């Protein structure tokens, strides 16, 4: 029997993974259907006008067309939180709630842009499409573009187990999913320079919710043997 929730997307997308991890942490079953935005077919563009993934369909609301669909990982996660509130992935306190939303936005924009465009596309997607990886761009990203962001995350995690609150939540999921693609590109966080961040990444990505996604992705994402 089909589950109420259906995710359209591609494995390897940090935003698709973000939704999958949140659902796994909540123990919510879902179905998955492959949908590529390269290029987006007409049916995907209809339910995702920005032609991006993931898109969630709640089949208890609608099974065809736009009905029951929600595009954008942040909107999807917020919807799932309301529909399945336990365990909570968003803090209850007003300030912590706002901080969690900030880290989600920071990860989805600043971190995602640099990791996605500066590492994942030139290193991973290039090989997947039969092209030579752009090592120069990747190294510039690792050594020039990302360090200020890592400095900020290192300070944000100092003395803390989680970015916000006392349990894993949307802030941690949103940031950590970007580091999966960072690793897929063959990059590593310098534990000597950012010890708190490196330890936190290892701990979050070892959780079953993340580990299951990573194991699936490693079956088709080629390993990088280039030192960045």
pLDDT tens track for 102-146: 999 999 999 999 999 999 999 999 988 889 999 999 999 999 999
31-34 vs 5-9, strand pairing mode: parallel
Residue 227: pLDDT band (50, 70, 90) is confident
Question: What predicted TM-score, i.e. pTM, was given to this entire model?
Answer: 0.97
**Domain 94-217: which topology?**
Glutathione S-transferase Yfyf (Class Pi); Chain A, domain 2 (1.20.1050)
- With H, G, I as helix, E, B as strand and everything else as coil, classify residue 228: coil
Q: What is the pLDDT of residues 25-62, one digit of tens each?
A: 999 999 999 999 989 999 999 999 999 999 999 999 99
Domain boundaries, the chain: 5-83, 94-217
Give the rounded distance of the alpha carbon of 154 from its chain centre: 19
SS3 content of the chain, % helix, strand, coil (to 5): 55, 5, 40
Is the separation of the CB atoms in 204 and 25 below 8 Å? Answer: no
Q: Is the pLDDT of residue 1 over 80?
A: no
- With H, G, I as helix, E, B as strand and everything else as coil, classify residue 157: helix
- Picking from 133, 103, 139, the residue whose alpha carbon sits closest to that of residue 121 is 133
CATH number assigned to the domain with residue range 5-83, chosen from the 4 options 3.40.50.720, 3.40.30.10, 1.20.140.10, 2.102.10.10: 3.40.30.10
Query: So what's the pLDDT on residue 223?
Result: 75
């Amino acid at each position: 029997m089909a589950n109420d929730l259906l995710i359209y997307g591609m494995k390897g997308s940090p935003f698709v993974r973000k939704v999958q991890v949140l659902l796994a942490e909540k123990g919510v079953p879902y179905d998955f259907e492959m949908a590529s935005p390269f290029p987006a077919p007409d049916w995907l563009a209809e339910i995702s006008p920005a032609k991006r993934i993931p898109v969630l369909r709640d089949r208890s609301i609608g099974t065809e067309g736009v009905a029951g669909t929600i595009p954008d990982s942040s909107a999807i996660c917020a919807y799932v939180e309301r529909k399945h509130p336990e365990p909570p992935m968003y803090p209850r306190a007003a300030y912590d709630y706002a901080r969690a939303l900030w880290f989600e936005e920071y990860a989805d924009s600043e971190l995602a842009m640099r990791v996605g465009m500066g590492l994942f596309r030139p290193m991973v997607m290039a090989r997947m499409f039969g092209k030579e990886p752009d090592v120069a761009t990747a190294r510039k990203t690792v050594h020039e573009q990302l360090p200020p962001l890592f400095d900020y995350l290192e300070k944000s995690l100092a003395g803390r187990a989680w970015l916000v609150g006392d349990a894993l939540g949307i802030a941690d999921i949103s940031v950590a999913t970007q580091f999966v693609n960072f690793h897929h590109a063959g990059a590593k966080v310098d534990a000597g320079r950012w010890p708190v961040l490196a330890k936190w990444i290892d701990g979050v990505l070892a959780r079953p919710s993340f580990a299951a996604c990573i194991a699936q992705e490693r079956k088709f994402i080629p390993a990088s043997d280039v030192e960045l």
